[in-house]
Amino acid sequence: METATEKKPIKRDPNLVPLSREHHFGLLFAWKLKQGLAKNASLQTMRDYVLYFWETGLQEHFLAEEDLLLNILPATDAQRSKVLKDHEIVRNLIGRIEQKTEISETVIEKLQSFLTDHIRYEERTFFPYLEQQANAEQLAKIGKHLTEEHAEPEDNFLPEFWTGKK
């Protein structure tokens, strides 16, 4: 019997598992930013990491979600609209960091916090919703594309600013 404090793992359609795995990388990315801020890491190094992570995985992840998942839903769907709006907010935050218009603890913290909330929303609300809306053929097509075309992210960034070691 499950107690009030225990949470059962989310049962994910196998075709969406690659995106959930990428969400794990995204949460780890956000955790590293949070640790870096707590350890007063160089903002320039954290900027470099944000751009590295964006270019080596997060940007492609967003495009995959938008191309593969959101097109299943009607343009007027509220869940679809929220995902698109959230992606745009993250893109704008990264753009501000990239253009050096604002490399500050505040914008990095906002990116870290917003991305964490967005990933949790997708895992807990959007993916279960999508699994109800999509048919088996649509889910299989997503899974096939992710298996054949989509590279799993890597995170080999150095220095490990989040450890506090120089």
Cα distance between residue 119 and residue 128, in whole Å: 13
* pTM (predicted TM-score): 0.87
Report pLDDT digits (tens) over 104-138.
889 999 999 999 999 999 999 999 999 999 999 99
78-83: list long-range contacts, CB under 8 Å, 24+ apart.
Answer: 79/125, 79/126, 79/129, 79/130, 82/121, 82/126, 83/122, 83/126
Distance between CA atoms of residues 11 and 142, nearest Å: 17
pLDDT tens-place string over residues 49-108: 999 999 998 999 999 999 999 999 999 999 999 999 999 999 999 999 988 765 788 999
